[in-house]
Amino acid sequence: MALLEVENLEIAVSTQRNLLPVVQGVSFTVDENETLGIVGESGCGKSLTSLAIMGLLGTSPVRITGGSIHFDGMNLLALSERERRAIMGNRMAMIFQEPMTSLNPVYRIGDQIVENLRQHQNLSHAAARDRSVELLSLVRIPDPSERIDSFPHQMSGGQRQRVMIAMALSCDPKLLIADEPTTALDVTVQKEVLDLMADLQSRMGTAIVLISHDLGVIAETCDKVAVMYRGKIAEAASTADLFAELLHPYTRGLLNSIPVVDRDVEWLEAIPGRVPTLEETLTGCAFQPRCELATELCACEAPQTTQFKPGHSVQCHFAGQDRS
Ligand SMILES: Nc1ncnc2c1ncn2[C@@H]1O[C@H](COP(=O)(O)OP(=O)(O)OP(=O)(O)O)[C@@H](O)[C@H]1O
Ligand SMILES: [Mg+2]
């Protein structure tokens, strides 16, 4: 059994009038020591999927309407609030899209790590403080025994992201979910943070779910990839298989839209059009209005997930075909 098993996950947003599906039939697994990349444009449901795994959808209008999530053999959707809290931040941890929203600006960073450690482990204040200095040094914060008394605003964006990683790793989680951990950072710092995560993984055997809109980042860091489009998994495979044969026209579009540094253009060949909104009812394939391969079939009938090859699945009527 895999460490994390998400099966047929369904999430919906309730509005005054109806329930709009936002994540549909999403399934994937992550093993110990493995990194899964989830990639897709803004609004495809990446963050909601990770919040659902962490049990953080809370009382928002967004809720899980179907499927199952198993972690280390436990059915996460059947846990009581108390059982769930014992696991989150301890055996499962998350790095959020924007570190300033998860670090409390009025507390020194050391106090926040100490608090997190003491909540989950039976440590004295002094021992938790020593461990916090160790963690800051592990994530390569210079002069950790002094920086531990800094406030979040006294640190750079890259350093705050490292502090978030230190906090997430404070209890040796088995699974780390990193939601766009490097988007707000410049390219050199981005590489350092990604290298740091890979290094920590090789030392601790942590399973990682890395969320990004950048297929280039995913290609460099992940063992396998799930490409999400409008709440569904358009294509999934090991990184090697995916790049050996990009089956979904959306995946090919994403690859061609990798942001280019040091050039006048910000995006190379961005995919024309946009992700349909939740309110738009779709009868066929959600990518069809933007797809150069689309036919009448695509407009009428949503493609099912098919196993193109063992371990390489795709949702497209014309998977692997090329118009050119
Ligand atoms: N609390 C909420 N209430 C209503 N709609 C929401 C809520 N949270 C998310 N959504 C909608 O659900 C969809 C998926 O959102 P999600 O945040 O998962 O996207 P994402 O793939 O993480 O995008 P990004 O790359 O911008 O972070 C979006 O259309 C978003 O507008
Ligand atoms: Mg997001």
Q: What is the pLDDT of residues 96-131, one digit of tens each?
A: 877 666 788 899 999 999 988 888 788 899 999 999
Instruction: Tally the domains of the chain.
Output: 2
If one residue of 230, 232, 278 were mutated to test the ligand 1 pocket, choosing by the most ligand atoms within 8 A of its CB, it would be 278
* pLDDT for 282: 83
Domain termination residue (choose one: 137, 165, 193): 165
Contact 98, 164 (CB under 8 A): no
Q: Are residues 70 and 113 in the same domain?
A: no
Q: Which ligand is nearest to the CA of 214?
A: 1
pLDDT tens by residue, 11-29 = 999 988 888 999 999 999 9
Strand order in the sheet with 312-314: 92-95, 175-179, 207-212, 35-39, 224-229, 232-238, 312-314, 306-309
Domain residue limits at 275: 4-91+171-314
* pLDDT for 44: 93
List of the chain residues with pLDDT < 70: 99-101, 184, 258-269, 323-324
| pTM score | 0.90
* pLDDT for 12: 95
For the chain, percent of residues with pLDDT exceeding 90: 55
Q: Are residues 70 and 192 in the same domain?
A: yes
Distance CA 275, CA 256 (A): 17
Q: Are residues 81 and 210 in the same domain?
A: yes
Q: Are residues 42 and 128 in the same domain?
A: no
Query: From ligand 1's centre to the CA of 219, what distance in Å?
Result: 24
